[in-house]
């Protein structure tokens, strides 16, 4: 048996091959061959039974399913850490891992710039009705439908209030990206007010005030049992008529049934979406609406960001091997004693 710690890799590596080669100097790397959840659970008890560290990608859930209570119960006793390649880790039950004394890391900050750039693109596109115009253009309705192929006339940033729900790392980067465009005011709501030096000039308000006064609502909250369908019938009913909604966080924070209702009754004038609740099995009714500009989850879809994310996953594994601790513990795991 190898004296090196064993790392089980779930999912593909696109650009960080050199980093993985370096890791192989201090660890034995096994690439998962499990084809489905049932086979993966069986393999955890057999050929993966001595694994000490697991790395995973978002897409690896297609083979393993969610790292929920059921699966976590089958993880080998030898397992020390799980390093997830992504900022959002809603596919993994962090509390269940605490009970097993298994550390969970994610990839924060590295995703901020690419996600914010995507958010700004969607925000401006929704504000200007670019999605509607493109849809009509592809349908051959220009010039038959007149100017801009019949798309409703859009709006400029001037005079508009942007309400940011979730002024964390990504939210603050979005704020910085938007400030030069000339919006009138930025307001935000978090569970708690941030220190003034982190607010970036945005004003802290109650959620109800944000919903009722924002011309544009920027959604940047993680998905958890507490935030699932956070934006629901009640929240939409409190919004200013004609609001623009942009979501690059997680699709599940929006109740899509209620969303469609308010997109079609005029309360929500338009939306820019990079995430959808059941992606990749998307709600066709939602994405087909002319006032919805939707993308297939492309927030971090750049060579530079993907490579940096993959390399950070390797750094988490290297660090836990050398020091016993991953670099970027998820918030729920901070201040927890993981000694076995």
Task: Give me the percent of the chain exceeding a pLDDT of 70.
Answer: 99
Q: From residue 174, give the alpha-carbon distance in Å to each of 168, 230, 245.
A: 10, 21, 14
Q: Which residues contact 90 (CB under 8 A, 6 or more apart)?
A: 222, 223, 224, 250, 252
Q: Which residues contact 46 (CB under 8 A, 6 or more apart)?
A: none
Q: What is the pLDDT of residue 101?
A: 97
Instruction: Determine whether 232 is exposed, middle or buried from the number of CB atoms within 10 Å of its CB (0-12, 13-18, 19+).
Output: middle
To the nearest whole number, what is the mean pLDDT of the chain? Answer: 97
Catalytic residues: 250, 279, 297
DSSP designation for 111: T
How far apart are alpha carbons 7 and 5 in whole angstroms? 7
How far apart are alpha carbons 244 and 113 in whole angstroms? 22
Model confidence pLDDT, tens digit, residues 181-209: 999 999 999 999 999 999 999 999 999 99
Model confidence pLDDT, tens digit, residues 150-159: 999 999 999 9
- Phi, psi dihedral angles at 179 (to 5 degrees): -55, -35
Q: Which residues contact 27 (CB under 8 A, 6 or more apart)?
A: 4, 5, 6, 7, 53, 317, 321
Centre a 10 Å sphere on the Cβ of residue 200 and count the other Cβ atoms it contains.
Answer: 17
State the virtual CA torsion across 208, 211, 217, 220 in degrees, nearest 10: 30
Model confidence band, residue 251 (pLDDT cutoffs 50, 70, 90): very high
Residues in the chain: 340
Whether 30 shows a pLDDT value over 70: the answer reads yes
**Contact present, 263 and 287 (Cβ < 8 Å):** no
Q: What is the pLDDT of residue 1?
A: 47
Model confidence pLDDT, tens digit, residues 123-145: 999 999 999 999 999 999 999 99
Model confidence pLDDT, tens digit, residues 96-113: 999 999 999 999 999 999
Q: What is the pLDDT of residue 2?
A: 53
- Six-digit token string for 159: 């005079």
**Domains by residue range for the chain, with CATH:** 6-110+303-333 (3.40.50.720), 112-294 (3.40.50.720)
Query: Considering the entire predicted model, what is its pTM?
Result: 0.94
**Contact present, 149 and 136 (Cβ < 8 Å):** yes
Model confidence band, residue 340 (pLDDT cutoffs 50, 70, 90): confident
Strand partners, 6: 28
């Amino acid at each position: 048996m190898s004296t090196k710690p064993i790392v089980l890799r779930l999912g593909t590596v696109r650009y960080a091959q050199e980093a993985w080669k370096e890791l192989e100097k201090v660890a034995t790397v096994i690439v998962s061959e499990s084809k489905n959840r049932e086979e993966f659970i069986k393999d955890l008890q057999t050929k993966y039974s001595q694994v000490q560290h697991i790395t995973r990608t978002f897409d690896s859930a297609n083979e393993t399913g969610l790292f929920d209570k059921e699966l976590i119960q089958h993880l080998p006793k030898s397992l020390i850490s799980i390093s997830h390649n992504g900022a959002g880790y809603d596919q993994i039950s962090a509390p269940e891992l605490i009970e097993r004394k298994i550390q969970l890391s994610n990839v924060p900050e590295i995703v901020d710039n690419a996600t914010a750039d995507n958010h700004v693109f969607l925000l401006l596109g929704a504000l200007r009705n670019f999605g509607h115009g493109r849809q009509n253009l592809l349908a051959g309705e220009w010039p038959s439908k007149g100017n801009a192929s019949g798309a409703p006339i859009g709006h400029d940033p001037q005079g508009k209030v942007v309400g940011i729900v979730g002024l964390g790392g990504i939210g603050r980067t979005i704020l910085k990206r938007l400030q030069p465009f000339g919006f009138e005011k930025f307001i935000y709501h978090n569970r708690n007010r941030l220190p003034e030096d982190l607010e970036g000039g945005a004003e802290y308000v109650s959620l109800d005030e944000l919903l009722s006064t924002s011309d544009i609502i920027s959604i940047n909250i993680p998905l958890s049992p507490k935030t699932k369908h956070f934006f629901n019938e009640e929240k939409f009913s409190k919004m200013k008529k004609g609001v623009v909604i942009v979501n690059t966080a997680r699709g599940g924070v929006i109740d899509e049934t209620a969303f469609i209702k308010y997109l079609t009754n005029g309360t929500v004038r338009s939306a820019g979406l990079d995430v959808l609740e059941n992606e990749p099995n998307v709600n066709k009714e939602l994405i087909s609406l002319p006032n919805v500009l939707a993308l297939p989850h492309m927030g971090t879809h750049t060579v530079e960001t993907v490579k940096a994310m993959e390399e950070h996953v390797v750094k988490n594994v290297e660090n836990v091997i050398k020091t016993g601790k991953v670099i970027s513990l998820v918030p729920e795991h901070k201040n927890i004693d993981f000694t076995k």
